């Protein structure tokens, strides 16, 4: 797809990026390899420009003679590529094992031009984006740790729990706090105290030791804000009658900020578009002009030139139109 007209009509549409490809022909060159080059400033650490998902290697290349004349003769541009490290010579030697003396003749050469704003985001330096989120949490300063000493007594023919000496009281808890039930007294031996929700089942956070023995405890830490409200303490062997209900309150809260960072890459000049380009100029390498340790130069011709087509298709001359105006020359 062509570059949108609206982009070209802007006061500053952006830099034109020039890219080149040389595409081999399997019949002539033994493979269909595509070599991609650019001759501008490298866009990333690898010295590449990436457009439409393809990487174009930074490589000294000079192309001249793309201009159209007024005589109908098609351009025959010259393409010169650096050969400092013998790279191009090595490619030609490999190709010449398929077609002797080919020297890349017949390879398809394409000149691609787009704008910097349409290059892939990967070309540009990563940016670190920091975001901050705020959540409501229980204020640690409002938290508490409460310990109850638990014993068991028979009252009116029924065993009940005594908390700090009080017969199975209704107790109050606060979400975000911790409550420890000390079950070391021998009367707890067959009466394991637990915490449960009438609707949601067992809620006990931690059980340590064996009831009736030293070190036996049950711990419950109601979470903020999710701990249920329909709680009770009870005997997991003998049921609810030994305990009572728990009143659940919310603590004071604070706003807690959490900061996170992520790395992203974007094109600072616009939105990448793999289809936005000027019309491609396609030629075929016709003959090698120069080869030395510094560079290799070819002359190229267009596909139309291969069949002797001239542009424009008709040329006004005085022989064809003797009655129109005055011709010079």
Residue written as token pair 């491609």: 280
Best CA proximity match to 52, nearest among 103, 141, 119, 123: 119
**Cβ atoms of residues 314 and 91 within 8 Å:** no
- Structural domains of the chain in order of their starting residue, each with its CATH number: 5-126+267-307 (no CATH), 138-255 (2.60.40.420)
Under 8 Å between Cβ of 285 and 106: yes
Q: Which two tokens stand for residue 19?
A: 């890219």
Highest mean pLDDT pick, 4-13, 71-80, 213-222: 213-222
Q: Which of 194, 198, 200 is nearest to 226 (CA)?
A: 200
Residue 122 main-chain phi, psi, to 5 deg? -65, -15
Query: Taking the C-alpha atoms of 306, 311, 314 and 317 in order, what is their torsion angle to the nearest 10 degrees?
Result: -110
In a 13 Å sphere around the CA of 297, the CA atoms on its Cβ side amount to: 12
Write out pLDDT tens, residues 216-227. Answer: 999 999 999 999
pLDDT score at 74: 79
Does 81 have pLDDT greater than 70? yes
Q: What does DSSP assign to residue 156?
A: T
Span 92-130, pLDDT tens digits: 999 998 889 899 999 999 999 999 899 999 988 888 889
pLDDT band at 59 (very low <50, low <70, confident <90, very high): confident
Q: What is the pLDDT of residues 148-179, one digit of tens each?
A: 999 999 999 999 999 999 999 999 999 999 99
pLDDT tens string 265-318: 899 888 999 999 998 989 999 999 999 999 999 999 987 766 554 555 555 555
Average pLDDT over the chain reads: 87
CA–CA dist 266, 311 (Å, integer): 42
The residues near 222 (Cβ < 8 Å, ≥ 6 apart) are: 173, 174, 175, 176, 177, 179, 203, 231, 248
Q: What is the pLDDT of residue 149?
A: 97
Strands 145-155, 281-291: pairing is unpaired
Under DSSP, is residue 24 helix (H, G, I), strand (E, B) or coil? Answer: coil
């Amino acid at each position: 797809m062509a570059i949108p007209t609206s982009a070209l009509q802007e006061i500053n549409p952006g830099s034109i990026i020039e890219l080149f490809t040389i595409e081999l022909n399997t019949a002539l060159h033994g493979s269909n390899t595509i070599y991609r080059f650019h001759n501008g400033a490298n866009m990333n650490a690898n010295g590449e420009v990436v457009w439409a998902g393809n990487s174009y290697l930074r490589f000294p290349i000079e192309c001249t003679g793309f201009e159209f004349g007024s005589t109908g003769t098609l351009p025959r541009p010259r393409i010169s590529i650096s050969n400092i490290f013998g790279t191009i010579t090595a490619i030609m030697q490999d190709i010449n094992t398929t077609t002797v003396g080919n020297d890349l003749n017949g390879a398809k050469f394409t000149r691609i031009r787009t704008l910097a704003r349409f290059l892939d985001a990967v070309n540009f330096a990563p940016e670190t984006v920091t975001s901050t989120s705020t959540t409501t949490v229980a204020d640690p300063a409002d938290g508490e740790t409460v310990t109850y000493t638990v014993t068991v007594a028979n009252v009116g023919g029924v065993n009940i729990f005594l908390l700090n000496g009080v017969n199975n009281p209704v107790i109050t808890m606060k979400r975000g706090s911790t409550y420890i039930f000390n079950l070391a007294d021998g009367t707890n031996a067959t009466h394991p105290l637990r915490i449960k929700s009438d609707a949601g089942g067992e809620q006990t956070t931690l059980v340590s030791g064996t009831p009736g023995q030293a070190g036996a405890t049950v711990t419950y830490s109601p979470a903020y804000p999710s701990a249920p409200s329909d709680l009770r303490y009870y005997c997991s062997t003998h049921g609810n009658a030994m305990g009572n209900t728990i009143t659940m309150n919310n603590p004071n809260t604070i706003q807690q900020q959490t900061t996170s960072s992520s790395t992203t890459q974007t094109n600072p000049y616009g939105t990448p578009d793999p289809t936005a380009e000027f019309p491609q100029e396609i030629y075929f390498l016709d003959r090698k002009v120069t080869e030395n340790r510094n560079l290799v130069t070819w002359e190229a011709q267009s596909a139309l030139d291969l069949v002797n087509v001239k542009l424009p298709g008709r040329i006004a001359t005085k022989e064809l139109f003797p009655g129109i105006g005055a011709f010079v020359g």
